[in-house]
């Protein structure tokens, strides 16, 4: 692939619509400088310089889709408190379609607050109550997604599960059958502690830990070459048999990723990251870039390589980040 292929692909995905269903998170960052050790406890004292907010969780998938030229339609829930207002403002500023977003005054917007000093994360503070996801939201999401599918408004659906309670087996099963009938691409980024029951999804993008945990297998050390690792190959077969996954893209951190397709040899794509500063949200970028590439006409190996380049870009940034069209094209200049 070269930059002309990427430019044509990005041109073909302009304004293509993808529905993203998942746990919405506000990522906040407190930036400062360590000035001394506290006399109250052996912890650093951080002098705060700045505080910033960005979209996290499934919302970061949406942001990546928009920054690459597609249209993201948000399905999820947020609240109306202080964090909720910040979150909604960021969604609007990012150009994400929030027509189907649920705003509930009784729901506590999930916020992950990170304290950063000298480019190092010192601590993270989480604000959440996962027991507050209302029961009505399941039927709301399923019925509206079915309308968008039957109207041929969307070309793909991404399910981004951060384990906060929004996505469940009933929701997935109801949508997958319908989406498959209409030829809509479906993708899942799973959570290792939530083994969902479903059958027949286009692509799943777990990391190695998630892939092994959900397959019920011990997570062995990786054997080189990764595409020939017998344990990883066994896990891929379990995913294909148990969940009907057509394409399994397992991310391996510094080892890149491996793509498994039915009746084809596994394909290893080495990492493209030049420097790694922060892996936060890298999986969001992978599933966004891969799904966009598929609906833009790329074959699975091409989509995997593109998503690998995209992930390599975002891990070189500090904080939850999205990849841009210009950054992706620049990766293929040579």
Beta strand 156-160 with 71-75 is unpaired
DSSP assignment of 112-139: EEEEEETTEEEEEEEE--GGG--THHHH
The answer to whether the CB of 288 falls within 8 A of the CB of 68 is yes
* Alpha carbon distance 251, 148 (integer Å): 30
* Alpha carbon distance 144, 97 (integer Å): 14
Active site residue 23: no
* Alpha carbon distance 262, 326 (integer Å): 33
Half-sphere exposure of 59 (CA within 13 A, CB side): 29
Q: E strand or H helix at 72, and its extent?
A: strand 71-75
DSSP state of 222: P
| Long-range contacts of the stretch 40-49 (C-beta < 8 A, 24+) | 44/117, 44/122, 46/115, 46/117, 46/122
Half-sphere exposure of 84 (CA within 13 A, CB side): 16
* Alpha carbon distance 62, 46 (integer Å): 32
Q: What angle do CA 92, 97, 99 make, to 5 degrees?
A: 105
**Catalytic residue selected from 221, 229, 284, 334:** 284
Provide, for the chain, the percentages of residues in helix, strand and coil under a 3-state DSSP scheme, each rounded to the nearest 5. 40, 25, 35
Active site positions, annotated? 284
């Amino acid at each position: 692939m070269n930059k002309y292929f990427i430019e044509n692909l990005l041109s073909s995905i302009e304004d293509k619509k993808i529905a993203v269903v998942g746990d919405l998170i506000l990522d906040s960052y407190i930036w400062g400088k360590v000035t001394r050790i506290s006399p109250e406890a052996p912890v650093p004292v951080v002098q705060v310089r700045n505080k910033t907010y960005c979209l996290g969780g499934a919302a970061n998938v949406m942001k990546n889709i928009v920054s690459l030229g597609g249209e993201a339609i948000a399905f999820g829930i947020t609240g109306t408190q202080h964090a909720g207002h910040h979150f909604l403002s960021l969604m609007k500023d990012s150009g994400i379609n929030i027509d189907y977003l649920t705003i509930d005054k009784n729901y506590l917007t999930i916020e992950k607050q990170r304290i950063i000093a000298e480019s190092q994360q010192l601590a993270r503070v989480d604000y959440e109550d996962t027991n507050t996801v209302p029961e009505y939201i399941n039927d709301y999401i399923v019925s509206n997604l079915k309308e968008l599918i039957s109207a041929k408004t969307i070309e793909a659906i991404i399910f981004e599960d951060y384990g906060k309670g929004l996505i469940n087996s009933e929701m997935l099963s109801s949508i997958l059958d319908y989406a498959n009938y209409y030829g809509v691409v479906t993708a899942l980024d799973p959570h290792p502690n939530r083994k969902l029951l479903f059958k027949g999804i286009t692509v799943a993008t777990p990391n190695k830990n998630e892939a092994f945990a959900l397959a019920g297998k011990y997570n062995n050390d990786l054997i080189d070459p990764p595409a020939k690792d017998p344990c990883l190959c066994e896990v891929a077969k379990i995913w294909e048999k148990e969940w009907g996954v057509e394409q399994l893209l397992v991310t391996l951190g510094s080892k890149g990723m491996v793509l498994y397709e039915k009746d084809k040899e596994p394909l290893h794509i080495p990492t493209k990251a030049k420097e790694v500063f922060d892996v936060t949200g890298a999986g969001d970028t992978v599933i966004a870039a891969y799904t966009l590439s598929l609906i833009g006409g790329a074959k699975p190996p091409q989509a995997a390589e593109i998503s690998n380049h995209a992930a390599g870009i975002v891990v070189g940034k500090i904080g939850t980040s999205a990849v841009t069209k210009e950054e992706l094209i620049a990766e293929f200049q040579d």
